[in-house]
Amino acid sequence: MTSMLPSALRLPPALHRHRGLIILAALIAVLPLALRNDYHYDVVINAGLNAIVVVGLNLLIGYAGQISLGHAAFFGLGAYVSAILTTTYGWPALGAMATGIVVVGIVAYVIARPILRLKGHYLAMATLGIGVIISIVLNTEAQVTGGPDGMSAAPFTVLGYTFASEQSWYWLVGGALLLTVWLSTNLIDSPIGRALRALHGAEIGARVVGIDTTRYKVLIFVISAMFASFAGSLFAHHTPTVTPSILGFIKSVEFVVMAVFGGMASVMGSVVGAFIMTLLPNVLAAFEDFEPIILGGIMMGTMIFMPKGLVPTIAKKLRRKEAP
Amino acid sequence: MIESMIQFILAGLTSGAIYALVGLGFSIIYNASHVINFAQGEFIVIGGMSTVALLAAGVPLPLAIVLATLVTMLVGLALARFAIQPAKDADVVALIIITIGASIFLRGVVQLVFGKDIHSLPAFSGETPLNLMGATLMPQSLWVMGISSALIVVIAWFFNATLAGKAMLATAYNALAARLMGVDTKWVLLSAFALSALLGAVGGIVVTPITFVSYESGIMLGLKGFSAAVLGGLGNGVGAVAGGLILGIVEAMSAGYLSSAYKDAIAFIIILVVLVVRPNGLFGKKGIDRV
Amino acid sequence: MSLLKVTNLTKSFGGVSAIRDLSFTIEAGTIHSIIGPNGAGKTTLFNLITGVYTPSSGSVRFNDREVGGVEPHKLAELGMNRTFQNLQIFHNMSAVENVMVGAHLHLRKGLLHSMLRLPSLARSERETREQCWELMDFVGLAQYRHTEASAMSYGALKRLEIARALAAKPKLLLLDEPAAGLNDTETREVDEVIKRIAAQGITVVLVEHDMKMVMGISDHILVLDYGAKLAEGTPAEIRSNPDVIAAYLGTVG
């Protein structure tokens, strides 16, 4: 892309790398002008939380080429750790959140070592199984988790300030999303990020130049699980009740769909995918019974007509127009 | 002691037979196209629901079964023709999304056409339980096991003894070589979807009197079928059948002896252990990376 | 001490021996070629030496250390690197990023370091990019500095793999048919590149079909036939070896 622009127009490298982040920050700053009520805020906040999970998941799927059909379990685990520690044990919110991230990181690490040797559909099956198992455990251990009825987390209080209004949550989640995007963009454009993309591009080629591919697969699985846990903790404090439905197979699939729909190996694609796929059901609610048909149709149509996802396909079209 | 064990095995074989059919469907499609068809569970629902609707409309049961199976096969063909064929060059994840999209789409259609209620069919030959060495068995379970076994035998015969079946196997082994030998691989893809739709529909119809059917019941059945296929080794028909039966029995045993809440979890733990020990399933061949 | 010592190496796939009881040594600082008819086991031998396959029996010693069955990434750390007959290019990256992956072993890879993009990382990234551009110049890819790998020709990608392997700073570089599929001009360029690599003190082992090239640049040649050693020696010795002429060279003309 850079090579096509006249050199006078080329941005300094740091700005160029983070051009998506800058656009996103601007959008987050002006979006409240279009939000009319708490319901609007609520939808956008959930979209932002989903976006955090999906940006992390895309590091695994889009960049490293490893699928996970169980990521909702890490999102849900983070949510439950926050809910349980803040209500049952009275922990401060940030401490609970950090504990959740560490716990999920450890769980993901223990799981990742054996299963990331698997490839393709077998890995899909294994991650799916892990997700189902975690979801069943949380559903069944009712005395700890509240079972199918779920449980609530204490309000999110940091340094004496409690995030109560939807507006305050909007800025909190907006900031968290920008942080996630910034960290992820940096990671992708580093030796670690190149190793991840290399093992996706040609695994044996990566190994012979000295990349311990198993180590990097495990690393990125753990990191993406930790991002999911981070979003899950925030979600727990924002939602009235945390229920097992947030960590089931369907939710895992939704995350993957957001990542793929928005664009594989595209951080901004993940954000766009998460927003559209979160907003869509709310828009389609007007069509009531036709909602799943339209949703399924959009999923199939996108993958058939633009298999690289929305953002990369549009970016390619724009580039072609620019070029003579 | 022994009675309850037999009871659990019988229950396991009944649900295992259905998992085997769905798993076999996964394997047939995987062989023909390397696609994992997550809409496989919907074939069961469409088969069961259509039979219910036709029966309610006054069509006699045998005719309703045939018509419902044909409807499901048409849906399978449409899925292959309009969703899979146009995306032939898409990568694995994109194909997974397409078939998941298809399953959501079909679930939506089922919900629109048949509603959200749970339906059932009358048992084919009454509700009087049979006694088998102290364990009780519903006659419908015999129907499930019998029909499934018969179908599996027919499928085995089809792949091993007919030209069409052999052409499909050849395509699975090496699509390019098969094409060069004059096999129409497009036809193979369509046949594979029609065949797995048939398996799903028949499975759905015979099991509906026991488990009932609703627009949502395809999700878990699809997952179980996928598990059966992976457990046995993707693309291995015998493996899928064995995987289905093992899965059914393990589930029934865990529900009976350990905890019914954890039966699904135990089934998945066993699948994980198998995959860690044998990354290509119980009967899968080890692959070599070629460079 | 020899750099690479292969002793009684055997590899069979399901009862068929691709490599049979093969022994040879490679001295440091020279250019070696492995030749033989199609199916003689040359690529299998490469895969055994570089850890892609595990030997059925026998030993591979590199720098006086047993490396048979050692994982490829560990061999890279020990100073062994290779290119592929069927390219293993990262098509999802730019050309220079492909080469930068080759430098992976020599870079700092701290996680926080990377995620926060600390100034030291930014600096090291700049320097690595410069060095990798120089390596691209070295193999004759100067005009591809800003190109995506997916937009490059086959011949250019072959040289990109060489640049990537060089970025790892290997002691031993194995090239699997570096001239296959190239035209005469490109072949001469690759020939020059190999000579310049050897001149830097890197030991080069190549599998190659282009006899003119092999005879022109090799210090030492090993001839394989049906997975076993048929002959070895200097180009002059190989050219006059009756077994080789009968089995192989006779057909080249």
pLDDT of residue C77: 94
Question: What ipTM goes with this model?
Answer: 0.90
Burial A258-269 (b: 16+ CB within 10 A, else e): bbbbbbbbbbbb
Nearest to B97 among A139, A257, A294 (CB): A257
Burial class (CB in 10 A: 0-12, 13-18, 19+), C120: exposed
Look up residue A15 and give its amino acid. L
Token pair, residue B74, equals: 């048409």
- CA of C37 vs chain B CAs: smallest distance (Å): 18
Neighbours of chain B (3+ CB pairs under 8 A): A, C
pLDDT of residue A322: 60
**Mean pLDDT, residues B253-278:** 86
Token pair, residue A244, equals: 């097992």
From residue B213, alpha-carbon distances to A189, B120, B140 in Å are 50, 6, 15
Asked if A293 lies within 8 A of B95 by C-beta distance, the reply is: no
pLDDT of residue A5: 45
From residue A11, alpha-carbon distances to A189, A321, B3, B149 in Å are 16, 20, 77, 67
Give yes or no for residue C170 having a pLDDT over 80. Answer: yes
Nearest to A209 among C92, C102, C122 (CB): C102
In a domain, B241, yes or no: yes
Distance between CA A180 and CA A21 in Å, rounded? 10
In a domain, B25, yes or no: yes
Each of the 324 residues of chain A gets a pLDDT tens digit; together they read 444 444 445 667 778 888 889 999 999 999 999 999 999 999 999 999 999 999 999 999 999 999 899 999 999 999 999 999 999 999 999 999 999 999 999 999 999 988 888 887 888 889 989 998 999 999 899 888 988 889 999 999 888 899 999 999 999 999 999 999 999 999 999 999 999 999 999 999 999 999 999 999 999 999 999 999 999 999 999 999 999 988 888 899 889 989 988 998 899 999 999 999 999 888 887 777 888 898 889 889 988 888 888 898 888 888 776 654
Per cent of chain C over pLDDT 70 is 97
- Tell me which residue range forms the domain holding B248: 2-277
Number of structural domains in chain A: 1
Q: Rounded to two decimals, what is the model's pTM? A: 0.90
In a domain, A303, yes or no: no
Contacts of B108 in chain A (CB under 8 A): 289-296
Cβ pair C72, A208 in contact under 8 A: yes
In a domain, A168, yes or no: yes
Residue of chain C minimizing CA distance to A63: C92
Number of structural domains in chain B: 1
Contacts of C72 in chain A (CB under 8 A): 204, 207-208
Over residues C68-99, the pLDDT tens digits come to 889 999 999 999 999 998 899 999 999 999 99
Distance from CA of residue C232 to its chain's centroid?
19
Asked if B219 lies within 8 A of A136 by C-beta distance, the reply is: no
More confident residue, B212 or B288: B212
pLDDT band at residue B181, thresholds of 50, 70 and 90? Answer: confident
pLDDT of residue B108: 92
Distance between CA B187 and CA B191 in Å, rounded? 6
pLDDT of residue B287: 52
CATH number at B222 reads 1.10.3470
pLDDT band at residue B44, thresholds of 50, 70 and 90? Answer: very high
Give yes or no for residue B245 having a pLDDT over 70. Answer: yes
- Tell me which residue range forms the domain holding A64: 42-248
Give yes or no for residue C53 having a pLDDT over 50. Answer: yes
Q: Is B87 on the interface with A (CB under 8 A)?
A: yes
In a domain, B287, yes or no: no
Residue of chain C minimizing CA distance to A180: C115
More confident residue, B242 or C249: B242
More confident residue, A65 or C209: A65
In a domain, A54, yes or no: yes
Express the helix, strand and coil content of chain A in percent, nearest 5 each: 80, 0, 20
**Mean pLDDT, residues B166-181:** 81
Contacts of C84 in chain A (CB under 8 A): 204-205
Over residues C221-243, the pLDDT tens digits come to 999 988 899 999 999 999 888 88
More confident residue, B88 or B218: B218
From residue B148, alpha-carbon distances to B15, B19, B120, B227, B249 in Å are 11, 10, 19, 18, 16
Q: Which residues are C80's β-sheet partners? A: C172
In a domain, A205, yes or no: yes
pLDDT band at residue B33, thresholds of 50, 70 and 90? Answer: confident
Q: Which of B19, B20, B40, B18 is nearest to B29 (CA)?
A: B40
Contacts of C102 in chain A (CB under 8 A): 209
In a domain, B184, yes or no: yes
In a domain, A47, yes or no: yes
